[in-house]
Structure 1
Amino acid sequence: MNLPAHVLIREVGPRDGLQNEPEILSTDAKVAMIDALARTGLPRIELTSFVRPDVIPQLSDAAEVLAQVDIPPGVARSVLIPNERGLEKALAHRARFDEINGFLSASESHNRANVNRPVAESLAGLERVFATARAEGLRCEGVISVAFGCPYEGSVDPTRVFELAGALAAAGAEEVAFGDTTGMANPRQVGEFFAAARAALGDGVQLTAHFHNTRGQGLANVLAALEAGCTSFESSVGELGGCPVPKGATGNVATEDVVSMLDEMGVQTGVDLPALLDVARSMQDRLGRPLGSHTLVAGPVDWQNTGV
């Protein structure tokens, strides 16, 4: 098994994890969550998004969250930007974040369902967003949703995905994340995909995997991506999250499950697993329901006393 010595994890729970929750957490609760996550050793955190509050009310307090969080030096702070208007709002708080994430879908149907515009229009908008962001000294990530399969159209041609990724890189994205937005990917597909992505895109852009655990294959897909050379992942504490469209697209793969698996395999993440589990427990208590994380239930592996 060919595995990297270490990987980077971007925690997306405060944004992707909370945007689909029926309950709207208070600003204080979000800030407490983010401040705790920032002290677990996670190197990157997606804090919030400047989306329309009538579309995603769960993130309507983006400015307040940015103003109040206390992030230690060395932790990269990113925000999701839906369009030029969102970037304009975010730049009013430029000192409070380091990176932006801009997104589009690999399929026309999902892009229209998600943002009500064709893919070409989204790409043109991202080109303008990235140009402005880079002029402000911000690092840019392009996110391609439904990269492994679309709930409306079925299979997605990887060549199409790589063309979009190349266009995003040409527009200024230093990183491209491939999203299994509704959990349709399988490990064989993922391994072949990332091997082909690196060959198609070269070494000039960072490739990131973003898996959902909708059908229970999230960790298997992480392993397949690892073996294919991917060293950057996005995940959500407690397995929070899910795509707002369509229904049934459940949570991101749990950060603590990813960290636990990697720790057991000797792949370094720099993340303090017990501290991360404390955050997951606090979120479970705050939301008043069990979360989907397996490590949250079982705890870390104790090789001295497994209790079995």
Structure 2
Amino acid sequence: MTSGITKSPLLALPGAVPAEGPDEGVAAHYGGLFQEQRALAEGRGFVDLSHRGVVTVTGPDRLAWLHLLLTQHVSALPPQQAADALILSPNGHVEHALYLVDDGTTTWAHVEPGTLPELLKYLESMKFMYRVEVADATAEYALVHLPAGSTAPVEGAAAVRSLPYGTDLFLPRERLAELTAGYGPAAGVWAYEALRVEQHRPRLGFETDHRTIPHEVDWLRTAVHLQKGCYRGQETVARVHNLGKPPRRLVFLHLDGTEESLPPHGTELRLASDPEGRALGFVTSSARHHELGPIALGIVKRNVPVDAVLVAGSVPAAQEVVVPQ
């Protein structure tokens, strides 16, 4: 948020343990990590993601303008249809990830905590003569996630993003304190992250670094439209897709469950057969899953054998392919 960390009122709920790092401001969990995961997997409860930035774009040219800037085809985006999109550097590296929906008059997007100021700066610099207005709506609206299968009400939300893995609500921020009355049990971001890792969904700043291109983390499938016209970085996307192979690839890791601690972000990955050898990649996200046990996502060099057993630090890690070689 542009004015610093805003703590969610749901941190006052019994058992709430504050998250740290990028997710500061909301609860990591409410005293029952696995129970919270099971509730979400069964379509019950909600996740407070009110620490994420919210941006709105209004004006008659908003979709045509965004279409020129984003990797996704949004010039004719139907109302209420969700879309994921990226903003790339001139060299095709991922700079921003936006999670969009248009309500017919306004395009809404949520973004990673702390990234909104730079995003707004870039968007403002690209307005030129287009009839658009860009605004930081984080102080007025908060993001709440409902799991797939949820029957909780969506009335009263300013915008709704419906997705295979759940629903994102842009709710007036003053409604956060009353959520437990109509939305079921609260689940923390640790439960949400465990399911995200299970679903192989990349997260900006976790699965990405300064040189990530969309192909490496499976965003080519969900956040890039390969048939649309020019946007910044499009040449790299097309060249790698048509003529080459990405230098790295995202993998899903089953971690040895006998270890007490999870390997943190940045833990180097090596071959289990050569644990003192050179690093072949690093852990990007790790979590404890209610069914799968300790799991992680990682980035490895493209030529790492897909059947190779790895070690994350000292933790054995069996890999599953997410992005093919």
- Provide the TM-score with structure 2 as the length reference: 0.27
CA radius of gyration, larger in: 2
* Structure with higher strand content: 2
